[in-house]
Chains A and B, each alone.
Chain A
Amino acid sequence: MRDLAVAELDDEGLRARADALGLALRVDELRGIAQRLGRAPSLVELYAFDAQWSEHCSYKSSRALLARLPTSGSDVVLGPSEDAGILHLGEHEGERYGIVIAHESHNHPSQVVPFEGAATGIGGIVRDVLCMGAEVVAVADPLRFGNIDFDRRHQRAVATGVVAGISAYGNAIGVPNLAGDCYFHSDFDDNVLVNVVALGLVKESEIVHSRVPAHGADFVLLLVGKATDASGFGGASFSSVALDAQEAQSNKGAVQVPDPFLKNVLMRASYRVFTLLRERNIEVGFKDLGAGGIMGCSAELCSAGGFGAEVDLDAVNVAVDHLLPEVIAVGETQERLLWALPEELVDEVERIYNEEFSLPQVAQNARAVRIGRATAERRFQLRHRGEIVMDVPIDFLTGTVRDTLAAEAPKPPRTQRERDRACDRSIGDLLHATLAHRDVCSRAPIYRHYDAVVRGRTVIPRGEADAGVLAPIRGSRLAFALSVAGNPRIGRIDPQRAAEHAVYESVRKVVAVGAEPIGLTDCLNYGSPRDARQYGELVAGIDGLARAARGFDLAYVSGNVSLYNAASDGHAIPASPIVACVGRLTDVSQCVTLALKETGSRLYLVGETQRALGGSVLASLLALPDEAVPELDIERAVAEHHFVLSAARAGLLRSAHVLSDGGLLVTLAEMSFGCYAARREPIGIALDGLAGWSSTGSYESLFGEWGGLVVEVAQRDVERFEELASSLESVREIAATIAEPLLAFEDEAWDISELHRIWSQPLEELYP
Chain B
Amino acid sequence: MKARVAVLVFPGTNSEVETRDLLVDCGADARIVHWSEAASLAYYDAFVLPGGFAYEDRIRAGAIAAHDAMLDAVIEGSEAGKLVMGICNGAQILLEAGLAPGTGAIRRPTAAFTHNIQGHFICQRVLLRRDAAAERCAIAAALPQDALIPAWAAHGQGRLAASSEHLEEIERGGYVVFRYADVRGATGAHLAPQGSALGAAALTNRRGNVLALMPHPERDAWNFNHLDRREGEDVLAPSGGSALFESFVTALERM
Chain A residues within 8 Å of B, Cβ to Cβ:
164, 167-168, 171-174, 260-261, 264-265, 268, 355-358, 361-362, 447-459, 471, 474-477, 479, 587-589, 591, 593, 595, 597, 677-679, 768
Chain A neighbourhood of B154, CB < 8 A: 171, 451-454
Q: Mark B13-36, 1 if CB is under 8 A from A, else 0.
A: 111011101100000000000111
Whether the pair B224, A172 counts as a contact (CB closer than 8 A) is no
Chain A facing B: main interface SS: loop
Chain B neighbourhood of A679, CB < 8 A: 125, 127, 183
Closest-by-CB residue of A relative to B24 is: A474
Whether the pair A591, B227 counts as a contact (CB closer than 8 A) is yes
Query: With A167-B121, A448-B124, A474-B21 as given contacts, are A454 and B11 in contact (CB-CB < 8 Å)?
Result: no
Chain B neighbourhood of A265, CB < 8 A: 11-12
Query: With A174-B52, A261-B56 as given contacts, are A457 and B18 in contact (CB-CB < 8 Å)?
Result: yes
Stretch at the interface among B107-115, B199-207, B215-223: B215-223
Kindly state the separation between the CA atoms of A358 and B10 in the bound complex, as whole angstroms.
11
A-B pair number, CB within 8 angstroms: 120
* Interface size class, chain B: 35 or more
Query: With A261-B56, A453-B154, A454-B51 as given contacts, are A174 and B227 in contact (CB-CB < 8 Å)?
Result: no
Whether the pair A453, B34 counts as a contact (CB closer than 8 A) is no
Chain B neighbourhood of A167, CB < 8 A: 120-121
Contact of B15 among A174, A358, A362 (CB under 8 A): A174
Kindly state the separation between the CA atoms of A84 and B224 in the bound complex, as whole angstroms.
28
Whether the pair B14, A173 counts as a contact (CB closer than 8 A) is yes
Chain B neighbourhood of A456, CB < 8 A: 15, 17-19, 21-22, 216, 218-219, 221-222, 225
Closest-by-CB residue of A relative to B56 is: A261
Q: Does B165 contact A (CB under 8 A)?
A: no
Q: Does B118 contact A (CB under 8 A)?
A: yes
| Cross-chain pairs A/B with CB under 8 angstroms, 29 sampled | A171-B154, A172-B53, A355-B36, A356-B34, A356-B36, A361-B11, A448-B123, A448-B124, A449-B120, A452-B152, A452-B154, A453-B123, A453-B219, A454-B14, A454-B154, A455-B15, A456-B21, A456-B22, A456-B219, A456-B221, A456-B222, A457-B18, A458-B225, A459-B225, A475-B236, A589-B224, A593-B228, A678-B228, A679-B125
Whether the pair B236, A477 counts as a contact (CB closer than 8 A) is yes
Chain B neighbourhood of A588, CB < 8 A: 224, 227, 235
Chain A neighbourhood of B224, CB < 8 A: 457, 459, 471, 477, 479, 588-589
Whether the pair B122, A477 counts as a contact (CB closer than 8 A) is no
Whether the pair A264, B12 counts as a contact (CB closer than 8 A) is yes
Contact of A171 among B17, B22, B121, B236 (CB under 8 A): B121
Closest-by-CB residue of A relative to B218 is: A456
Contact of A449 among B12, B19, B36, B123 (CB under 8 A): B123
Kindly state the separation between the CA atoms of A457 and B55 in the bound complex, as whole angstroms.
25
Query: With A264-B53, A452-B123, A456-B18 as given contacts, are A589 and B11 in contact (CB-CB < 8 Å)?
Result: no
Whether the pair B183, A172 counts as a contact (CB closer than 8 A) is no
Kindly state the separation between the CA atoms of A479 and B125 in the bound complex, as whole angstroms.
22
Chain A neighbourhood of B227, CB < 8 A: 459, 588-589, 591, 593
Query: Distance (Å) between the CB of B85 and the closest chain A CB?
Result: 16
Chain A neighbourhood of B221, CB < 8 A: 456
Whether the pair A264, B152 counts as a contact (CB closer than 8 A) is no
Whether the pair A449, B219 counts as a contact (CB closer than 8 A) is no
Kindly state the separation between the CA atoms of A29 and B235 in the bound complex, as whole angstroms.
60
Query: Distance (Å) between the CB of A465 and the closest chain B CB?
Result: 10
Query: With A458-B225, A459-B227 as given contacts, are A448 and B122 in contact (CB-CB < 8 Å)?
Result: yes
Extra contacts besides A171-B154, A679-B183 (9): CB < 8 Å: A167-B121, A172-B56, A260-B53, A357-B36, A458-B219, A471-B224, A475-B236, A589-B223, A589-B224
Contact of B11 among A362, A455, A479, A597 (CB under 8 A): A362
Chain B neighbourhood of A474, CB < 8 A: 21
Kindly state the separation between the CA atoms of A260 and B219 in the bound complex, as whole angstroms.
22
Kindly state the separation between the CA atoms of A474 and B236 in the bound complex, as whole angstroms.
9
Chain A neighbourhood of B127, CB < 8 A: 679
Chain A neighbourhood of B118, CB < 8 A: 768
Of A173, A477, A589, A677, most buried by chain B (CB within 10 Å of CB) is A589
Whether the pair B121, A451 counts as a contact (CB closer than 8 A) is yes
Chain B residues within 8 Å of A, Cβ to Cβ:
9, 11-15, 17-19, 21-22, 34-36, 51-53, 55-56, 118, 120-125, 127, 152, 154, 156, 183, 216, 218-225, 227-228, 230, 235-236
Chain A neighbourhood of B19, CB < 8 A: 456
Query: Distance (Å) between the CB of B228 and the closest chain A CB?
Result: 6
Of A268, A361, A451, most buried by chain B (CB within 10 Å of CB) is A451
Contact of B120 among A164, A261, A268, A362 (CB under 8 A): A164
Kindly state the separation between the CA atoms of A448 and B152 in the bound complex, as whole angstroms.
11
Kindly state the separation between the CA atoms of A456 and B226 in the bound complex, as whole angstroms.
11
Closest 6 CB pairs of A and B: A174-B14, A456-B18, A261-B56, A453-B219, A589-B235, A679-B183
Kindly state the separation between the CA atoms of A214 and B218 in the bound complex, as whole angstroms.
45
Chain A neighbourhood of B228, CB < 8 A: 593, 595, 597, 678
Closest-by-CB residue of B relative to A767 is: B120
Closest-by-CB residue of A relative to B230 is: A589
Kindly state the separation between the CA atoms of A753 and B193 in the bound complex, as whole angstroms.
21
Kindly state the separation between the CA atoms of A456 and B154 in the bound complex, as whole angstroms.
12
Closest-by-CB residue of A relative to B54 is: A261
Closest-by-CB residue of A relative to B55 is: A261
Query: Distance (Å) between the CB of B58 and the closest chain A CB?
Result: 9
Kindly state the separation between the CA atoms of A452 and B154 in the bound complex, as whole angstroms.
8
Kindly state the separation between the CA atoms of A447 and B221 in the bound complex, as whole angstroms.
22
Closest-by-CB residue of B relative to A476 is: B236
Query: Distance (Å) between the CB of A472 and the closest chain B CB?
Result: 11
Kindly state the separation between the CA atoms of A585 and B120 in the bound complex, as whole angstroms.
34
Chain B neighbourhood of A591, CB < 8 A: 227
Kindly state the separation between the CA atoms of A261 and B123 in the bound complex, as whole angstroms.
19
Chain B neighbourhood of A593, CB < 8 A: 227-228
Chain B neighbourhood of A448, CB < 8 A: 122-124
Whether the pair B14, A449 counts as a contact (CB closer than 8 A) is no
Kindly state the separation between the CA atoms of A220 and B123 in the bound complex, as whole angstroms.
43
Kindly state the separation between the CA atoms of A452 and B225 in the bound complex, as whole angstroms.
12
Query: Distance (Å) between the CB of B243 and the closest chain A CB?
Result: 15
Kindly state the separation between the CA atoms of A448 and B121 in the bound complex, as whole angstroms.
8
Kindly state the separation between the CA atoms of A679 and B36 in the bound complex, as whole angstroms.
43
Of A355, A454, A456, A587, most buried by chain B (CB within 10 Å of CB) is A456
Chain A neighbourhood of B236, CB < 8 A: 475-477
Kindly state the separation between the CA atoms of A447 and B55 in the bound complex, as whole angstroms.
25
Kindly state the separation between the CA atoms of A173 and B13 in the bound complex, as whole angstroms.
9
Whether the pair B36, A358 counts as a contact (CB closer than 8 A) is yes
Chain A neighbourhood of B121, CB < 8 A: 167-168, 171, 449-451
Chain A neighbourhood of B11, CB < 8 A: 261, 264-265, 358, 361-362
Chain A neighbourhood of B22, CB < 8 A: 456
Chain B neighbourhood of A356, CB < 8 A: 34, 36
Kindly state the separation between the CA atoms of A593 and B53 in the bound complex, as whole angstroms.
31
Chain A neighbourhood of B123, CB < 8 A: 447-453
Kindly state the separation between the CA atoms of A588 and B9 in the bound complex, as whole angstroms.
30
Of B36, B120, B216, most buried by chain A (CB within 10 Å of CB) is B120
Query: Distance (Å) between the CB of A361 and the closest chain B CB?
Result: 8
Kindly state the separation between the CA atoms of A355 and B35 in the bound complex, as whole angstroms.
11
Kindly state the separation between the CA atoms of A479 and B222 in the bound complex, as whole angstroms.
14
Query: Distance (Å) between the CB of A646 and the closest chain B CB?
Result: 19
Query: Distance (Å) between the CB of B21 and the closest chain A CB?
Result: 6
Chain B neighbourhood of A454, CB < 8 A: 14-15, 18, 51, 154, 219
Of B12, B14, B225, most buried by chain A (CB within 10 Å of CB) is B14
Query: Distance (Å) between the CB of A21 and the closest chain B CB?
Result: 37
Chain A neighbourhood of B56, CB < 8 A: 172, 261
Kindly state the separation between the CA atoms of A420 and B122 in the bound complex, as whole angstroms.
47
Kindly state the separation between the CA atoms of A362 and B34 in the bound complex, as whole angstroms.
14
Kindly state the separation between the CA atoms of A496 and B225 in the bound complex, as whole angstroms.
39
Kindly state the separation between the CA atoms of A450 and B152 in the bound complex, as whole angstroms.
12
Query: Distance (Å) between the CB of A433 and the closest chain B CB?
Result: 28
Closest-by-CB residue of A relative to B193 is: A448
Query: Distance (Å) between the CB of A586 and the closest chain B CB?
Result: 12
Kindly state the separation between the CA atoms of A679 and B220 in the bound complex, as whole angstroms.
15
